[in-house]
């Protein structure tokens, strides 16, 4: 027996929302997702497979995470890591460290949230949909195109948030989903760096 949760997946909402998506909606849904991810991390669990199809948005604005088949718990044996030596996850949303087999870092989920935000704003995936190991490894060294290159009207604070989530080095991302959620709800307090103003890829 499972709890019945009423809502729509973020994937469905994105498909039904006329492009381009309003920045206020991106920030609102992104903040709800970041809060749900933070609550999960407080329970010592990393989701490891965040994508729009695995996020259910409720009528009250809360996000519910689905499908914990690839998750890992900090204080329990990680059977997937023991059994598989290859990358585990959904290729389009997978963090660089997952590509090389590192699991259990909460910042991997932050990366996936960044991919979702990027897709909501631009309608495209930052690294496409790789189908080969070589295609997956590109994110270890290749920067995605800046959001403003695809959509020039994106405010600098939102690009700063998204591109920080997508940093290839986990240490350069948000240290927690809570910090990410705070920035999404307080855009006036986001410190803008070169990352937020960039209009061309490296």
Active site (catalytic) residues: 49
φ, ψ at 163 (rounded to 5°): -70, -25
Contact of 196 with 167, CB cutoff 8 Å? no
Indicate the Cα dihedral angle 38, 43, 173, 25, nearest 10°: -20
- Among 95, 4, 111, 8, smallest CA distance to 52 is for 8
Query: How would DSSP label each residue in 91-121?
Result: GGG--HHHHTT----HHHHHHHHHHHHHHHH
Structure tokens given for 177 = 């989903």
Give burial (CB, 10 Å; 0-12/13-18/19+) of 43. exposed
């Amino acid at each position: 027996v499972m709890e019945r949760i009423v809502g729509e997946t973020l994937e469905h909402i994105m498909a039904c929302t006329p492009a381009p998506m309003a920045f206020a909606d991106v920030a609102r849904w992104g903040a709800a997702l970041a809060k749900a991810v933070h609550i999960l991390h407080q329970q010592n669990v990393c989701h490891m497979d965040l994508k729009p199809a695995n996020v259910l948005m409720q009528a009250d604005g809360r996000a519910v995470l689905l499908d914990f088949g690839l998750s890992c718990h900090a204080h329990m044996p990680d059977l997937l890591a023991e059994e598989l030596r290859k990358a585990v996850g959904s290729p389009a949303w997978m963090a660089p460290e997952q590509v090389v087999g590192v699991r259990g870092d909460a910042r991997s989920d932050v990366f996936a949230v960044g991919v979702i935000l990027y897709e909501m704003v631009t309608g495209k995936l930052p690294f496409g949909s790789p189908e080969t190991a070589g295609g997956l490894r590109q994110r270890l060294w290749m920067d995605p195109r800046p959001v403003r290159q695809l959509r020039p009207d994106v405010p600098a604070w939102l690009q700063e948030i998204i591109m920080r989530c997508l940093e290839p080095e986990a240490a350069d991302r948000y240290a927690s989903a809570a910090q990410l959620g705070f920035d999404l709800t307080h855009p006036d307090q986001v410190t803008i760096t070169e990352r937020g103003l960039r209009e061309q890829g490296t």
